[in-house]
Structure 1
Amino acid sequence: MGSPYSTTSEVFAAGGEGYLKEDHTPTTLPERREEILKLRRALKPAARGVGAENAFLSGKAGQGKTAAAKAELGELESFAAAEDLELTAVHFSCEGISSSYTLACGLCERLCDTNPNGHSMQKVLDHLWRAMNEVGGTIIVVLDEIDNLGTDDKILYSLPRARDKDYVNDDVYPSIIGISNDLQWRDNLDPAAKDSLYDDSIFFAPYDANDLRDILSRRASKAFRDTNLVYEDAEGEVFTVTVDLDGDENDSLDAAFESRSVDRTACSLVGIDSAVISDDVIPMCAAYAAQDKGSARQAIKYLRKAAAIAESEDSATVEGRHVRQAKDESERELIIEGMEQLTTQGHLALAAVTILEMANEPDLRTRKVYNVYRSLTNDIDADQLAQRRMRDHLVELDMLSIIRARKSASGSVGGEAYTFELRVEPSMALDVLEAVSRFDGVDFNTMTKNWLRDQ
Structure 2
Amino acid sequence: MADNERGSDGDSEKGDSAQSIDLDLDEVVLDDEVEGDNQGLFDDLLDSEPIFENKEVLRPSYTPHELPHRKEQINKMATILVAALRGETPSNILIYGKTGTGKTASAKFVSQELESTSQKYSVPCDVEYINCEVTDTQYRVLAQLANKFIDKNEELIDERLEKFESLRADVTANETSEDTGASADFERKDSTATPAVLDDTEFDSVEGLDDRIEELKADREEMEQVPMTGWPTDRVYSVFFDAVDYRERVVVIMLDEIDKLVEKSGDDTLYNLSRMNSELSNSRVSIMGISNDLKFTDFLDPRVKSSLGEEEIVFPPYDANQLRDILQHRADVAFKPDALTDDVIPLCAAFAAQEHGDARRALDLLRTAGELAERDQSERVLEEHVRQAQDKIELDRVVEVVRTLPTQSKLVLFSTILLEKNGVHNINTGEVYNIYKSLCEEIDADVLTQRRVTDLISELDMLGIVNAVVVSKGRYGRTKEISLSVPIEETEAVLMSDSRIGDIEDVQPFVQARFDN
* Superposed pair shares fold, TM > 0.5: yes
Cα distance, 1:362 vs structure 2: 4.6
Distance in 2 separating the partners of 1:48 and 1:438: 62
Which of 242, 250, 258 is the aligned partner of 1:138?
250
Higher radius of gyration, 1 or 2: 2
Which of 360, 368, 374 is the aligned partner of 2:437?
374
Distance in 1 separating the partners of 2:241 and 2:106: 28
What count of residue pairs does the alignment treat as equivalent?
400
Cα distance, 1:411 vs structure 2: 7.5
Cα distance, 1:193 vs structure 2: 0.6
Instruction: Indicate if the aligned counterparts of 1:111 and 1:135 stay in contact, CA closer than 8 A.
Output: no
Instruction: Indicate if the aligned counterparts of 1:140 and 1:174 stay in contact, CA closer than 8 A.
Output: yes
Matched position secondary structure for 1:212:
helix
Label 1:437 to 1:58 Cα distance change in 2 as closer, same or farther (>3 A).
Answer: farther
- Are positions 1:74 and 2:136 aligned together? no
Matched AA of 2:49: E
Cα distance, 1:349 vs structure 2: 1.1
Which of 312, 316, 328 is the aligned partner of 1:205?
316
**Greater strand fraction, Structure 1 or Structure 2:** 1
Matched position secondary structure for 1:26:
coil
Distance in 1 separating the partners of 2:50 and 2:310: 47
Matched position secondary structure for 1:24:
coil
Aligned to 1:451: 511
**TM-score (normalised: structure 1):** 0.82
**Greater helix fraction, Structure 1 or Structure 2:** 2
Distance in 2 separating the partners of 1:123 and 1:438: 45
Q: CA offsets per residue over residues 117-168 of structure 1, 9 Å max, x none? A: 323332222122111112541111111111111251112112122122x1x2
- Are positions 1:432 and 2:494 aligned together? yes
Distance in 2 separating the partners of 1:362 and 1:198: 51
5+ residue gaps in structure 2? 1-37, 152-224
Instruction: Indicate if the aligned counterparts of 1:107 and 1:128 stay in contact, CA closer than 8 A.
Output: yes
Identity of aligned residues (%): 37
Q: CA offsets per residue over residues 203-248 of structure 1, 9 Å max, x none? A: 110011111111111111111112xxxxxxxxxxxxxxxxxxxxxx
Distance in 2 separating the partners of 1:372 and 1:105: 50
Which of 188, 192, 197 is the aligned partner of 2:303?
192
Q: Which has the higher contact order (CA 8 A, sep 6+)?
A: 2
Cα distance, 1:110 vs structure 2: 2.4
Cα distance, 1:192 vs structure 2: 0.7
Instruction: Indicate if the aligned counterparts of 1:97 and 1:148 stay in contact, CA closer than 8 A.
Output: no
Distance in 1 separating the partners of 2:247 and 2:494: 49
Label 1:111 to 1:316 Cα distance change in 2 as closer, same or farther (>3 A).
Answer: same
Instruction: Indicate if the aligned counterparts of 2:52 and 2:370 stay in contact, CA closer than 8 A.
Output: no
Instruction: Indicate if the aligned counterparts of 1:356 and 1:448 stay in contact, CA closer than 8 A.
Output: no
Label 1:25 to 1:448 Cα distance change in 2 as closer, same or farther (>3 A).
Answer: farther
Label 1:96 to 1:381 Cα distance change in 2 as closer, same or farther (>3 A).
Answer: farther
Distance in 2 separating the partners of 1:223 and 1:312: 17
**TM-score (normalised: structure 2):** 0.73
Label 1:378 to 1:127 Cα distance change in 2 as closer, same or farther (>3 A).
Answer: farther
Aligned to 1:245: none
Q: Which runs of 4+ in 1 moved over 4 A?
A: none
Instruction: Indicate if the aligned counterparts of 2:495 and 2:502 stay in contact, CA closer than 8 A.
Output: no
Aligned to 1:17: 55
Aligned to 2:457: 394
Matched AA of 1:103: V
Q: CA offsets per residue over residues 308-330 of structure 1, 9 Å max, x none? A: 22222222121222212211222
Aligned CA-pair RMSD: 2.2
Cα distance, 1:377 vs structure 2: 2.4
Q: CA offsets per residue over residues 403-447 of structure 1, 9 Å max, x none? A: 222332138852x2122222233321221112234435333xx12
Cα distance, 1:13 vs structure 2: 4.2
